[in-house]
Amino acid sequence: MKRLTIDGSWFVDDRGRRVLLRGVNLGGSSKVPTVPDGRTHLPTDFSDHRDVSFVGRPFALDRAAEHYERLRAWGFNALRFLVTWEAIEHAGPGRHDDAYLDSIADAVALAGDYGLSVLVDPHQDVWSRMSGGDGAPGWTLEAVGFDVSRLDAAEAAVTEQGRFADAYRDMIWLANSNRLACATMFSLFFGGDRVAPGCAVEGEPVQGFLQRHFVAAVRALAERLAGFGHVLGYGTLNEPSPGYLGIDDLGRPLPASGPGPVLTGLDSLAVGAGHPRSVRVARAGSVPISDAGPTLLNPDRVSAWVDPDRDVWLREGVWGLDDGGAPELLRPGHFAGVAFVADCLEPFARRCAAALREVDPAAALFYEGSPGSAEPLRWSRPDVPVVNASHWYDVLTLMEKSYRPDAAVDWNTMEPVEGEDAVRASFVAQIGGLVALSEGLGGAPTLVGEFGVPMDLDGGASFRSGDFSAQEAALAAYYSALDANLVHGTLWNYTADNTNAAGDGWNREDLSIFSLDQPGGRAVRGFCRPTLRAAAGTPTAQRFDARTRVYTLDVDVDPAIDAPTTVYVPWAQYFEGTELRVSSGRGQHVRDAQLVRWTGAAAGPQRLTLGPAV
């Protein structure tokens, strides 16, 4: 399988056709180890974090063909393939897990046999498993002075593993971005030279130490994948966070990050260091977020630091204790004046690109910023092909786990949207906002790296009834917004070991379109829909009406391209056959291949229309 290239906002195949990527994230449980079982509903103090294995993620190799064949039949032509830094380098700095790297290389190699292009996603959420998410190895936290076994008890992190199901709320993991562990690690990773010049690991400035090991880990994987033509490139870092960087005043509440306690910068620094603080709580399941009253954090005075002398921010003089022993800010503007993208993220992305392209000179960089950030992406290396891989979610449905076609919240403004027509228009506009970000990247392709819908809506009602129509309606709305903007996308997610009881195996999330309890798929008609594969020209519009099942494709045909325009036509939508019309040339529905081939079209604007057989 030959690698696609980039031309403007499109991927282009070796026959000159513009290709639309519609893929899936593989997979949700790749965030956690297989040995010992790292699913987050199982308790652990993380004391074994160096002695783990991720071999068998995203699935055992002897089951790969089964999963890839299913994904191909469902119409996907791309994978956003999750790996984590921890999976590669959990044992310690510079100690790479060769068995894991080999297993990923084998799984990626096989994907090409099924026509699946691969973009490798070095995944993380709120830094690491130990800080309430996934991504970085535990030793990164230990290297700067944290005791990973005490992060949850100190309220420096909120983990499902430490609180178990009855004391852990849906989506509260997002709030970790403002907790001491996550905010500290990202501040050091992206801005340690600026905000913690006195912090070093083994004599090396902490920012350089952390970035060097991360880049080397991803490069080690790239070395194994360099010969695979279907590997498009590599992500920079999933949903990067600025930590405290750019905060003007640590005495004020930190930016909202979901339900749970609302912390000022001083609260975040002091609570995790063992000082109880009374803070207000943002109500869970409320968007926009409302106030649920006060709570006292860390009444037992547990410190996340191995020793008070290891507290990075105490040593840097950011905060201290007054004469009465109460926490006080000494430098409230310590992190101010940092432009995260320009000062931190882009230089890091350039470092990643340089290392990866030494191994694979044609690899593209899939680049994303902090979700919801007002700062636009920027890229100053026109010689490096780049893709805007920003994310988008229907935030109201995601947070409240209930879908209403007539209600939404704008991802960027957090303003409510009411009425079905207004909601559909808002989704189109929100995706259009991501396309606008691509202008800062030289008009690069836009690939929505994540979007999706919870399968456990309304308390898991679909699991009891077998009716996933609400999820199908939601997905139809999301895909229609992608179609309206003609953008690429990878759905979140496909988890091979998902179950109704354990979900995706991570922080009570359950967005997988596959489950061992629904092996035929979940909400299939929502994502399995007709879509362009490759166009002999420039696509100008694509539409699918989920109610009438009428699909239209407009292409500005280039007669110099000697190859058919192809459209995926799923059995799931057209079980009774199709009625096909083209404005010129010949259209042929190859039913067994779930494909329409359109050949001989005249130059210029042309249209293909497809509907169910009458």
Domain boundaries, position 581: 533-612
Residue 317 lies in a domain: no
**432 and 552 within one domain:** no
Least confident of 136-150, 163-177, 181-195: 163-177
Query: Do 50 and 199 have their domain in common?
Result: yes
Q: Token pair of 446, please?
A: 């836009």
Tens digits of residue pLDDT in 98-124: 999 999 999 999 999 999 999 999 999
Would you give the DSSP letter of residue 478?
H
Alpha helices in 196-259 (DSSP H): 206-225
pLDDT of residue 257: 72
Query: Residue 330: helix, strand or coil by DSSP?
Result: coil
Identity of the residue numbered 319: W
Task: List Cα–Cα distances, 163 to 33, 123, 148, in angstroms.
Answer: 19, 24, 15
At 288 the pLDDT is 54
Give CA angle at 136 (261, 254), nearest 5°: 25
Domain of 60: which CATH number? 3.20.20.80
> In the structure, what pLDDT confidence band is assigned to residue 431 with cuts at 50, 70 and 90?
very high
User: pLDDT value at position 440?
Assistant: 86
pLDDT over 70 at 259, yes or no = yes
- Alpha-carbon gap, residue 274 to 308, rounded angstroms: 9
Domain's final residue, options 527, 557, 580: 527
Stretch among 3-7, 165-169, 277-281, 539-543 having the lowest mean pLDDT: 165-169
Task: Report the pLDDT averaged over residues 360-372.
Answer: 93
| Domain match, 386 and 484 both | yes
In a domain, 504, yes or no: yes
Tell me the pLDDT band of 580, cut-offs 50, 70 and 90: very high
Query: 216 — phi, psi (to 5°)?
Result: -65, -35
Q: Which residues are catalytic?
A: 239, 450
Query: Tokens in use for 167?
Result: 């004391």
Q: Is-contact 400 287, C-beta < 8 A?
A: yes
Mean residue pLDDT of the chain comes to: 96
| Residue 555 falls inside a structural domain | yes
226 assigned to some structural domain: yes
pLDDT for 286 equals 52
- Shared domain for 341 and 480, answered yes or no, is yes
Question: Given pLDDT bands bounded at 50, 70 and 90, which one contains residue 443?
Answer: very high
Mean pLDDT on 318-338: 97
Is there a single domain that holds both residue 428 and residue 566? no
Name the domain boundary from 495, 510, 527.
527
Where is 540: in which H helix or E strand? strand 537-545
Q: Are residues 117 and 216 in the same domain?
A: yes
Task: Assess whether 596 and 477 both reside in one domain.
Answer: no
Q: What average pLDDT does range 388-392 have in this prediction? A: 97
Task: Please report the pLDDT score of residue 154 as a whole number.
Answer: 98
Average pLDDT score over residue span 143-154: 98
For 237-244, what is the mean pLDDT?
97
Give the model confidence (pLDDT) of 282-326 as tens digits. Answer: 765 555 555 667 899 999 999 999 999 999 999 999 999 999 999
Q: Domain with 589 in it: what CATH number?
A: 2.60.40.1180
Tell me, yes or no, whether 5 lies in a domain: no
Cross-strand pairs, 252? none
The CA-based angle 149-269-206, given to 5 degrees, is 70
Per-residue pLDDT, 414: 87
Confidence of residue 186 (pLDDT cuts 50, 70, 90): very high
Asked whether residue 373 carries a pLDDT value surpassing 70, the answer given is: yes
Q: What is the mean pLDDT of residues 407-435?
A: 95
Q: Is the domain of 476 the same as that of 343? A: yes
Whether residues 204 and 352 share a domain: the answer is: yes
Banded model confidence at residue 353, pLDDT cuts 50, 70, 90: very high
- The pLDDT score that the predictor gives to residue 294 is 86
Total domain count for the chain?
2
pLDDT computed for residue 167 by the predictor: 77
Q: Where are the alpha helices (DSSP H) in 96-137?
A: 98-112
Residues 483 and 584 in one domain: no
Query: What separation in angstroms does the CA of 40 have from each of 85, 154, 259, 508?
Result: 18, 19, 19, 8
Indicate whether 539 and 458 sit together in one domain. Answer: no
Report the distance separating Cα 8 and Cα 334, nearest Å: 41
| Least confident interval from 190-204, 251-265, 493-507 | 251-265
In a 3-state reduction of DSSP, which class is residue 420? helix
Q: What is the pLDDT of residue 287?
A: 56
- pLDDT tens-digit series, residues 40-88: 999 999 999 999 999 999 999 999 999 999 999 999 999 999 999 999 9
Q: Residue 506: inside a domain, yes or no? A: yes
Cβ-contact 100, 82 below 8 angstroms = no
Of 492, 507, 527, the residue at which a domain comes to its end is 527
Residues 523 and 538 in one domain: no
First to last CA, the chain: 38
β partners of residue 344: none
Q: Find the angle CA(289)-CA(290)-CA(291) to the nearest 5 degrees.
A: 135
Q: Count Cα neighbours of 567 within 13 Å in the Cβ-side half-sphere.
A: 29
